[in-house]
């Protein structure tokens, strides 16, 4: 049975939630599920904005056919070729031989790559930055949004009803669970952490490109934002936009500490715990993670949120313990910038992890290290408490400045 919702009088959400997906993109756990949004406009011409992941194709086609009510599907706008949105394009075009595609030339190339053998000759109308398209009452223009999140991405803007179809931008992990609009829940309480994890892990690397698109969008009068994942925005969008401005410029959301440790037998964890206590006693907010327990995507997300980062790890195979190494690679690959960083290492006979961790992070723009590495030999020695006090003092002074 179909399950659709009206976005406006003539725009219908025909997407679907997926609560069974274990790992989005094969990497990111999504315990709260994810939505794949697709929108159908019923104007003089009918226009579908993107399709969905193959996992939900049955629901999607039920929704689409019900919403079309027997009408032809005149146009499909493709914003992004990643298969979480485009896997169902081939099935759609086979069911609807009347449908023409509106897309840019990069999307056309990728259509050929993903759907080899599908003959799209004479079915594609290419658009580029600033192209105009009319479906009847509605007039659209198109904004290219390269690397938000792939190079072919584009957004569509409905000048008539002031709707921005924003592709992956302003999306979030987390199923919709019946709510279509962000104001049908407490977005900041219900979704913000997952929205941050989605942004930072999916497009966090491309802050400059996100900023470029935000500058373009700033010139538009926007009443509704329709992303490809998560709720539609019709109210209070500014609060979410502010987060995007921070994340894309790598500015922390707050002066606080993200403390991540990798500990095999608990001694590095013990020193991390003592440092956390000392920070809290000085009024510093701390969030701690065991890198062997919490997946890197959550820790990376919090590293974008916090101004100060502390990494504590044991030496392992003459390197950095594997879960910490993985996390630091992830942070470096996502281009995180402008953080204050402190390092603590452990090694019973040849401590090496501190130097290596510092090297992995030192290439990040505007990274400042606080003090020298603290070195544990198997466990924290009594006379090293003063080193933790000094580090806590330095971080407290910095966060409270
Ligand atoms: Fe939601 Fe980049 O795909």
- Span 276-322, pLDDT tens digits: 999 999 999 999 999 999 999 999 999 999 999 999 999 999 999 99
Give the whole-angstrom CA distance, residue 46 versus residue 57: 20
- 194-230 in b/e form (b: 16+ CB < 10 A) is bbbbbbbbbbbbbbebbebbbeebeeeebebbbbbbb
Instruction: Tell me if 302 sits within 8 A of 200, measured CB to CB.
Output: no
For ligand 1, say whether the CB of 308 is within 6 Å of any of its atoms.
Answer: no
For ligand 1, say whether the CB of 82 is within 6 Å of any of its atoms.
Answer: yes
**Which atom of ligand 1 has the smallest separation from the CA of 168?**
1
Instruction: Determine the angle formed by the axes of helices 296-305 and 192-202, rounding to 10 degrees.
Output: 100
Which residue in 283, 286, 297 sits closest to 342, CA to CA?
286
For ligand 1, say whether the CB of 85 is within 6 Å of any of its atoms.
Answer: yes
Which residue in 232, 254, 369 sits closest to 307, CA to CA?
254
- The rounded Å distance from CA 82 to ligand 1 centre is 6
Q: Which helix (H) or strand (E) holds 369?
A: strand 368-369
Instruction: Please report the pLDDT score of residue 271 as a whole number.
Output: 98
Residues 6+ apart with CB under 8 A from 75: 45, 46, 47, 48, 99, 100, 101, 102, 135
For ligand 1, say whether the CB of 74 is within 6 Å of any of its atoms.
Answer: no
**Which atom of ligand 1 has the smallest separation from the CA of 36?**
1
- The rounded Å distance from CA 149 to ligand 1 centre is 7
For ligand 1, say whether the CB of 168 is within 6 Å of any of its atoms.
Answer: yes
Instruction: Tell me if 78 sits within 8 A of 164, measured CB to CB.
Output: no
Concatenating the DSSP letter of every residue in 175-203 gives --TT--BGGGTTHHHHTHHHHHHHHHHHT
Instruction: Tell me if 285 sits within 8 A of 256, measured CB to CB.
Output: yes
pTM: 0.96
**Which atom of ligand 1 has the smallest separation from the CA of 167?**
1
For ligand 1, say whether the CB of 243 is within 6 Å of any of its atoms.
Answer: no
Residues 6+ apart with CB under 8 A from 193: 301
Instruction: Tell me if 38 sits within 8 A of 52, measured CB to CB.
Output: yes
User: How would you class 20 by CB atoms within 10 Å of its CB: exposed for 0-12, middle for 13-18, buried for 19 or more?
Assistant: exposed
Give the whole-angstrom CA distance, residue 177 versus residue 294: 25
Write down the H helix ranges in 321-384.
322-333, 353-362
Give the whole-angstrom CA distance, residue 309 versus residue 330: 14
Kindly state the tokens that stand for 177: 């669970």
Instruction: Tell me if 309 sits within 8 A of 280, measured CB to CB.
Output: no
For ligand 1, say whether the CB of 18 is within 6 Å of any of its atoms.
Answer: no
Instruction: Tell me if 311 sits within 8 A of 359, measured CB to CB.
Output: no
Q: Name which residue sits closest to atom 3 of ligand 1, judged by CA.
A: 82
What are the pLDDT tens digits along the chain (401 aa)? 999 999 999 999 999 999 999 999 999 999 999 999 999 999 999 999 999 999 999 999 999 999 999 999 999 999 999 999 999 999 999 999 999 999 999 999 999 999 999 999 899 999 999 999 999 999 999 999 999 989 999 999 999 999 999 999 999 999 999 999 999 999 999 999 999 999 999 999 999 999 999 999 989 999 999 999 999 999 999 999 999 999 999 999 999 999 999 999 999 999 999 999 999 999 999 999 999 999 999 999 999 999 999 999 999 999 999 999 999 999 999 999 999 999 999 999 999 999 999 999 999 999 999 989 999 999 999 999 999 999 999 999 999 88
Q: Name which residue sits closest to atom 1 of ligand 1, judged by CA.
A: 168
């Amino acid at each position: 049975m179909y399950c659709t919702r009206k976005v406006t009088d003539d725009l219908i959400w025909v997407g679907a939630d997926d609560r069974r997906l274990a790992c989005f993109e094969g990497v990111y756990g999504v315990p709260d599920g994810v939505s794949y949004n697709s929108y159908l406009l019923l104007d003089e011409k009918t226009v579908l904005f993107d399709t969905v992941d193959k996992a939900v194709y049955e629901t999607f086609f039920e929704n689409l056919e019900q919403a079309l009510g027997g009408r032809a599907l005149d146009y499909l706008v493709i914003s992004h070729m990643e298969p979480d949105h485009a896997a169902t394009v081939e099935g759609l075009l086979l069911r609807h031989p009347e449908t023409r595609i509106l897309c840019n030339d990069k999307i056309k190339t990728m259509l050929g790559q993903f759907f080899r053998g599908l003959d799209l000759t004479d079915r594609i109308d290419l658009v580029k930055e600033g192209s105009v398209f009319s479906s009847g009452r509605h007039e659209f223009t198109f904004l290219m949004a390269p690397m938000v999140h792939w190079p072919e991405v584009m957004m569509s803007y409905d000048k008539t009803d002031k709707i921005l179809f924003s592709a992956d931008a302003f999306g979030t992990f987390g199923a919709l669970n019946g709510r279509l609009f962000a104001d049908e829940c407490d977005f900041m309480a219900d979704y913000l952490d997952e929205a941050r994890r989605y942004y930072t892990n999916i497009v966090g690397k491309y802050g400059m490109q996100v900023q470029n698109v935000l500058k373009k969008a700033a010139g538009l009068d926007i009443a509704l934002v329709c992303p490809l994942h998560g709720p539609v925005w019709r109210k209070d969008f500014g609060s979410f936009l502010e987060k995007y401005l921070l994340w894309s410029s790598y500015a922390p959301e707050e002066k606080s500490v993200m403390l991540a440790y990798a500990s095999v037998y608990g001694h590095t964890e013990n020193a991390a715990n003592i440092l956390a206590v000392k920070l809290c006693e000085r009024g510093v907010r701390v969030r701690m993670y065991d890198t062997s327990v919490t997946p890197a995507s959550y820790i990376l997300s919090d590293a974008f949120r916090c101004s100060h980062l502390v990494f504590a790890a044991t030496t392992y195979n003459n390197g950095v313990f594997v879960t910490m190494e993985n996390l630091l690679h992830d942070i470096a690959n996502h281009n995180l910038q402008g953080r204050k960083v402190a390092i603590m290492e452990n090694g019973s006979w040849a401590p090496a992890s501190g130097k290596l961790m510092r090297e992995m992070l030192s290439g990040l723009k505007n990274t400042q290290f606080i003090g020298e590495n603290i070195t544990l030999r198997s466990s924290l020695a009594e006379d090293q408490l003063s080193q933790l006090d000094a580090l806590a003092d330095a971080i407290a002074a910095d966060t409270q400045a």
